[in-house]
Amino acid sequence: MNPIVRSVSTPRVDVDSARMGRLAIASLHAELACDLKPGLVTPFDTGSHDDMDAGTFLRSLFALRHYFRAVASASARGDGFEVLRQHGIAAETAMLRATGGVNTHRGAIFSLGLLVASASAYRQSSSTTPTGEQVCEGVRQWAHALGAAPLDPHSPGQRARIRHDVAGVREQAAAGYPVLRTLALPTLRHAIAAGLSREAALCHTLMHLVAHVDDLNLLHRGGAEGLHWAREQATGFIDGGGAFAPGWRARLQTICNAFAARRLSPGGSADLLACSWFLLQQERA
């Protein structure tokens, strides 16, 4: 964008950006607050983690309280991907400062940040509320920039992605998050429409994600065998009726215990769960 042309904020942009920012933080909190998440941190369990607990995630959320509003506002004003990326890098720094160097939300800063930016741009340009699927599709506008952006080939995710020849979070983003559009959103919508509680619907959706996502965190910690085992556990839970089945909590607790025993943690699936919740909630905003 021409540096002479300053981005102009208007009250409408500011109000909607603040709304999108609050929804994003609330969605990350909804994921954290959900119990019975195999290998993941909950208010009652640190899962497969020794370096973080719910307090670590809450400090991280607090550090991100301005970030999502900032990317929403930048996107609504028409700022390019590089501006969004700089906000993301600053958010990663704020997160690490708040957590004492623990990586709680690096992937969520990326994925939820892009979805917030997409939702904000759509709402600004069309003055209507997009569906969750339209928000996912909107991320494709940055596909080229995503492919050209600097990448750390030695990050856990990149090492896992290269070693196991799978797509990672950037490839998901450039394709408009197909796993959210075609799997997580329909699953979450159906569970809620069928009358499941928020927690049951989130657990049900998380297990569908674990069963299908090439989760780089599972690959990083458990390799191909660990990912395969995790998918088998999730598929077994789903085939047994998932959170619709009587006694689902006891069955899921057993799976949680098994994930922790193997030190496996589907952090990518947890991010995508929070993203799914945001995509649904912004439809009502």
Ligand X SMILES: CC(C)(COP(=O)(O)OP(=O)(O)OC[C@H]1O[C@@H](n2cnc3c(N)ncnc32)[C@H](O[C@H]2O[C@H](COP(=O)(O)OP(=O)(O)OP(=O)(O)O)[C@@H](O)[C@H]2O)[C@@H]1O)[C@@H](O)C(=O)NCCC(=O)NCCS
Q: Which residues bind ligand X (CB under 6 A)?
A: 71, 84-85, 88-89, 103, 105-108, 110-111, 113-114, 117, 149, 151-152, 155-158, 168-170, 172, 213-217, 220-221, 265, 267-268, 271-272
Of 31 and 137, CB closest to ligand ADE: 31
230 lies in the binding site for ligand ADE (CB under 6 A): no
Please report how close the Cβ of residue 262 comes to ligand ADE at its closest, in angstroms. 15
Binding span for ligand ADE by CB under 6 A among 5-13, 83-91, 179-187, 265-273: 265-273
41 lies in the binding site for ligand ADE (CB under 6 A): yes
32 lies in the binding site for ligand ADE (CB under 6 A): yes
Q: How far apart are CA 152 and CA 168, in angstroms?
A: 13
Of 81 and 237, CB closest to ligand ADE: 237
Site size toward ligand ADE (CB under 6 A) is 10
Of 69 and 221, CB closest to ligand X: 221
The partner in contact with residue 168, picked from ligand X, ligand ADE, none with C-beta cut-offs of 5 to 8 angstroms by kind, is: ligand X
Q: How far apart are CA 49 and CA 69, in angstroms?
A: 30
Binding span for ligand ADE by CB under 6 A among 1-9, 75-83, 153-161, 263-271: 263-271
How far from 53 is each of 32, 39, 219, CA to CA, in Å? 10, 12, 22
The partner in contact with residue 32, picked from ligand X, ligand ADE, none with C-beta cut-offs of 5 to 8 angstroms by kind, is: ligand ADE
The partner in contact with residue 113, picked from ligand ADE, ligand X, none with C-beta cut-offs of 5 to 8 angstroms by kind, is: ligand X
Please report how close the Cβ of residue 96 comes to ligand ADE at its closest, in angstroms. 14
The partner in contact with residue 222, picked from ligand ADE, ligand X, none with C-beta cut-offs of 5 to 8 angstroms by kind, is: none
Tokens of residue 26, six digits: 């609330």
Of 177 and 237, CB closest to ligand X: 177
Q: How far apart are CA 279 and CA 251, in angstroms?
A: 28
Of 131 and 158, CB closest to ligand X: 158
Binding span for ligand ADE by CB under 6 A among 60-68, 129-137, 235-243, 264-272: 264-272
Under 8 Å between Cβ of 184 and 208: yes
Q: How far apart are CA 274 and CA 78, in angstroms?
A: 25
Q: How far apart are CA 143 and CA 93, in angstroms?
A: 24
- Choosing from 271, 276, 279, 282, the residue that interacts with ligand ADE (CB under 6 A) is 271
Residues binding ligand ADE (CB under 6 A)? 31-32, 40-41, 47, 108, 265, 267, 270-271
